[in-house]
Amino acid sequence: MTGPAKYATETMSGIEQKQAERRALSRGLPDIGELARGVREGRRTALARAITLVESSRADHQEIAQKLLVELLPDTGKAIRIGFSGAPGVGKSTFTEAFGCYLTAQGLKVAVLAIDPSSARTGGSILGDKTRMEMLARDPNAFIRPSPSGGTLGGVARRTREAMLLVEAAGFDVVIIETVGVGQSETAVADMVDMFLLLLSPGGGDELQGIKRGIMELADLIVVNKADGDLIPAAKRARLEYKTALHLMRPKYPVWTPDVLLASALKGEGLSEVWEAVQAHHKALSEAGDLVRLRAGQSQAWMWTEIREGLFAALKADKRASDLLPELERAVAEGRETPTTAARRLLSLVLGAGKAG
């Protein structure tokens, strides 16, 4: 079977696997101690079940999931966290597989997680990537997993962060967070990793004009992929143009200046240089104390994200708020009330600080 039919069948097999994990959870709530032990021992069934648990929206599952994460928290934080981003067509899946296989060949354990807002509807790009990255998917030292969004980018980021903690507790040395490379997903990835790696094609010139400055500023390392064959001259020109663009931006850290490297995922070239840069970045930030500060700030930002999403969920679930909301929307639309006043009335009602009216 080839083409779209093959893709649909393979994608469905990934969805069915996740459904089987959910059915296993529905048969009974897991024992936290036993599940934590299984994750620590690196048992894939335990790890997959734990990730399914943190993805669940059921209140009882979430309660257990948070207790499990607290139990495993001392075993987290030892991996190098890398974020991959790049526009469609840049060869991101090919690069991820080649880089992942290079790392496992060095004796490292690699986990690949995905940030993909479309995954709740379609099964997500990573389920397709899992079939395209067949070699890495079969590697006993690799683990590939999608993070469904539940319809919001914040939901993706939350579940991906928690999945990252679980794979770290399972003993993975490198965690690669992959984004589809559209919208705000790059910022979400950059807010949870140690290094943000931007993959670009040898286009240069016109492509450079289309890259948002904000994304360039996020990059700790730029890799020009597909630097092989007839594209080598173009890749070298692109590298110079990207390096020039980086020099016009303020580095995120005094101890690290972003660089531009060439690589060919197809031929497996340039991967060792990329890994050396990743290690150098990690060492520089660790020795300067920047890595500790970075991760602490990310955890605090994550907490505030949870607070905002929790308040919004409470707002949507409150019947009094849902009854009042249409009236407030009309008042704001007709200019009878300011948006700020309307918002305060609604929040006061939900938080119990007063009565609407």
- Provide the pLDDT confidence category of residue 260 given band limits of 50, 70 and 90: very high
Distance (Å, whole) CA 246 – CA 259? 8
pLDDT tens digits, residue range 85-123? 888 788 888 999 999 999 999 999 999 998 755 544 444
Q: Residue 274: what pLDDT?
A: 98
Tell me the CATH number of domain 295-351, given options 1.10.287, 2.40.160, 1.10.3470, 1.10.3210.
Answer: 1.10.287
What band does 273 get if pLDDT is binned at 50, 70 and 90? very high
Q: Which stretch of 17-26, 74-83, 167-176, 230-239 has the lowest confidence by average pLDDT?
A: 17-26
Choose among 283, 228, 234: nearest CA to 255: 283
Instruction: Please report which confidence band the pLDDT of residue 300 belongs to, taking 50, 70 and 90 as the band edges.
Output: very high
d(CA 170, CA 37): 9
| Range 264-277 average pLDDT | 97
**Picking from 3-7, 175-179, 240-244, 264-268, which range would have the lowest pLDDT averaged per residue?**
3-7
State pLDDT tens for residues 190-215: 889 999 999 998 975 555 555 666 78
pLDDT in tens, 149-163: 555 555 556 788 999
Mean pLDDT of 324-336: 95
Question: What confidence tier does 184 reach under pLDDT thresholds 50, 70, 90?
Answer: low
pLDDT band of residue 317 (cuts 50, 70, 90) is confident
Whether the pLDDT of residue 323 is over 80: the answer is yes
For residue 180, the model assigns a pLDDT of 67
pTM, rounded to two decimals: 0.82
* SS3 track for the chain: CCHHHHHHHHHHHHHHHHHHHHHHHHCCCCCHHHHHHHHHCCCHHHHHHHHHHHHCCCHHHHHHHHHHHHHHHHHCCCCEEEEEECCCCCCHHHHHHHHHHHHHHCCCCEEEEEECCCHHHHCCHHHHHHHHCHHHHHCCCEEEECCCCCCCHHHHHHHHHHHHHHHHHCCCCEEEEEECCCCCHHHHHHCCCCEEEEEECCCCCHHHHHCCHHHHHHCCEEEECCCCHHHHHHHHHHHHHHHHHHHCCCCCECCECCEEEECECCCCECHHHHHHHHHHHHHHHHHHCHHHHHHHHHHHHHHHHHHHHHHHHHHHHCHHHHHHHHHHHHHHHCCCCCHHHHHHHHHHHHHCCCCCC
Q: Is the pLDDT of residue 278 over 50?
A: yes
- Looking at this protein, which amino acid is placed at residue 61? H
Q: Output the pLDDT for position 350.
A: 79
CATH class of this structure's domain 76-288: alpha beta
CATH 3.90.1010.10 fits 1-74, yes or no: no
Domain extent listing, the chain:
1-74, 76-288, 295-351
- Mean pLDDT is lowest, of 5-14, 51-60, 166-175, 236-245, for 5-14
